Structure 1
């Protein structure tokens, strides 16, 4: 069977003879297959190129995100180290304050944690500052949880210390630590001869001789709970300073405060007089703690 072929004629514009080219059908088929293969390869190459370009762009984005995450993790590690070191310093300071204020005394049940050196838990410095650069976010989150718990414990401990010092500040403000009036102590606290009966009796305060009308000032903060006449003491003022402490002022010529008034240390409250059972102008001054007379001198800090 003869092979099929095609004749291609080329006709020139001039008088040249017509050129004929015989092309076998199989050649055309092979040529078409070849063109299709080349086209397929070109199309595949093009698709592969765009895929590679897309992957390269995604890889670049991932690298940038990875660098950003590494930077963030480094920052987190540094912050954890800083917080851990700070908490460690705060804990050491807290222990010093507790030692100074006896707040770690087990009998007071105020210590927040172990106080014996052998039982002390690792400090935040050893727990949190030695961080590996290969730590995963889960480990860092665990350390952050521990830091949060430690910070909460320290906050509670410092709140307790704040309450203690606030109470001490209030106690100091309420302690009658200055002289209520300037003068001469003519009769001290303790046993003495009564100037009227000549009998030995207990004198529950100090007698401070001063000119009539001499100013009397509150020796500490408090509330006036009584202002009026009281038997042989004449005009009397009683101030409640809290913490079971009360002060009493007798033989007053003039009372400048009334019951219910709030006074501060140094407030003018009265004037020296000679009212009641008195042999001359003076101030009878008492300090009572839970109702029991105390020597006022042990509270007075100034000369």
Structure 2
């Protein structure tokens, strides 16, 4: 079989001699093998070139993402540094306010995250990426820090005020109504037990607005185990007032409140027998009878 020959005959279109090409079968197989090998090598080169080119495109894309990430990380680093400087500034304001008021403030809240917050942050990081979570946290910090500084400055301005000091002494009724339980002892309507009553209970109509009887700073505004929602105000003169059974709070801790400003509403709650306000006044931590600070002529039935 390999010793046979194949003859190729070339016949011209016009006049001319007929040409014959005699090729052995072995040579034809060798030429065919070489052609197949050549085309295979050419195909491998093309494939390798395409693979390398694709890899270069991916590498360029990855380099682009890396550069963007590096740029964002540098931006985050600068923002973190600026935030740290800002917090140092706020800490300075805090110390000035502490010296100005000669008061011992409550310890600052811990910055440690609880397990629920950590789990939520990790879930967001897996879903959106750690850089997106960092960017979101920094944006929230940027929004909060200016408000905190403004609150500190308001507090400092409040303590520096030289206006009429009587504005910080409670006067008038915080709500329109009448006293149902006076200062002294109280018989609890639910338990029937007698206990000390450091304030008064003022019955009123539902949806009545609670107004501040004096200028002051909100120390606490939120949930209380006994009073439901409770407001505690410091008037920066040794006087502190407390307001219990309040709903729809319109103020927040650290806010400067002026006399006559609405702080919430009085509603009927599961903790009360009807719409009523608990009103307490203390001077240097000693309970005072709130009636002394109320003008009886302003009583409205």
Q: What TM bracket, shorter-length normalisation?
A: 0.3 to 0.5
- The TM-score with structure 1 as length reference comes to 0.43
Greater Rg, structure 1 or structure 2?
A: 1
- The TM-score with structure 2 as length reference comes to 0.43
